Structure 1
Amino acid sequence: MADWTRRNGNGLGKGQSEEILDRENQQMTENLSRKMNRLKNVAFDMQTEAEDQNRYLDGMGSDFESSQGLLSGSMNRINHMIGANKSNRKIMCYIVLFLVIIFFVVYFLVTRSSGS
């Protein structure tokens, strides 16, 4: 901001200094208005992003709940199959052995392909 008392002493009249002050105030008001608009846009963008993230998290929560239901149902069926009788235990051992072999084959293939 300029020192208007010096300018007044240099021959500017009271009316001219008031005009200069008015123009300067108008310019500062416009600058402040632009900055406020930018802040409002940023706040609106932040609100929109927060709402999107909340919707995403809500969807994730429901996905986890449905996965939990699916896994608990599977575990109940496996427990029922294990407890049914001796022949089911033998089948269960074969299934576990098969899964372990598949795991090692996939592990071998992944390490072999990433090593190349």
Structure 2
Amino acid sequence: MADPWNRGHGAVDDMLDAENKRMAENLASKVSRLKSLAYDIDKDAEEQNAYLDGMDSNFLSATGLLTGSVKRFSTMVRSGRDNRKILCYVSVGLVVAFFLLYYLVSRMQN
């Protein structure tokens, strides 16, 4: 004789098995999305590192240029009175050129 308490276990097992499969598929899709996201983050980080390495070399070359310019400027300032006059004229000319360009750009925008 069949046990009356054991009658519905087959249906419950099937229902639990279907629920388990559904949850496993859901988990697999989430893992797949996370894997894709991790790959995208890794790729982006590598691109940014390459960009920063390029910027580092650019800054080093700019530092070299500025160092050379400062040395030449220091030599020019120490060399004598005639060079100081030229330096003043160049400085005033650059300031005037800056304000002239500022004025022209502001007029073009209006």
1:68 aligned residue: 63
Aligned to 1:32, the other structure's residue is in SS state: helix
Q: Deviation string for 1:37-91 (max 9, x for gaps)?
A: 1011111111211221122122212211211111111111111122122221121
TM-score (norm 2): 0.84
Alignment deviations for residues 22-42 of structure 1 (CA, whole Å, 9 cap, x no partner): 122111111111111101111
* Aligned counterparts of 1:14 and 1:89: Cα–Cα separation in 2: 101
Identity within the alignment, %: 47
TM-score, normalised with respect to structure 1: 0.80
Q: Which consecutive residues of structure 2, in runs of 5 or more, have no partner in the other structure?
A: none
For 2:54 and 2:71, locate their aligned partners in 1 and report how far apart those are by CA, in whole Å.
Answer: 26
Question: Is 1:13 matched with 2:8?
Answer: yes
Equivalent runs, 1:41-56 vs 2, <5 Å: 41-56=36-51
Q: Equivalences for 1:18-97 in 2 at 5 Å?
A: 18-97=13-92
CA RMSD, aligned part only?
A: 1.7
Structure 1, unmatched stretches of 5+, are: 1-8
Report the equivalent of 1:5: none
AA in 1 matched with 2:54 = G
C-alpha displacement at 1:14, in angstroms?
2.0
Equivalenced residue count is 105
Q: Distance in 1 between matches of 2:17 and 2:102?
A: 76
Distance 2:91 2:12 in 1: 92
Letter in 1 for 2:36: N
| Runs of 4+ deviating beyond 6 Å | none
Distance 1:95 1:20 in 2: 88
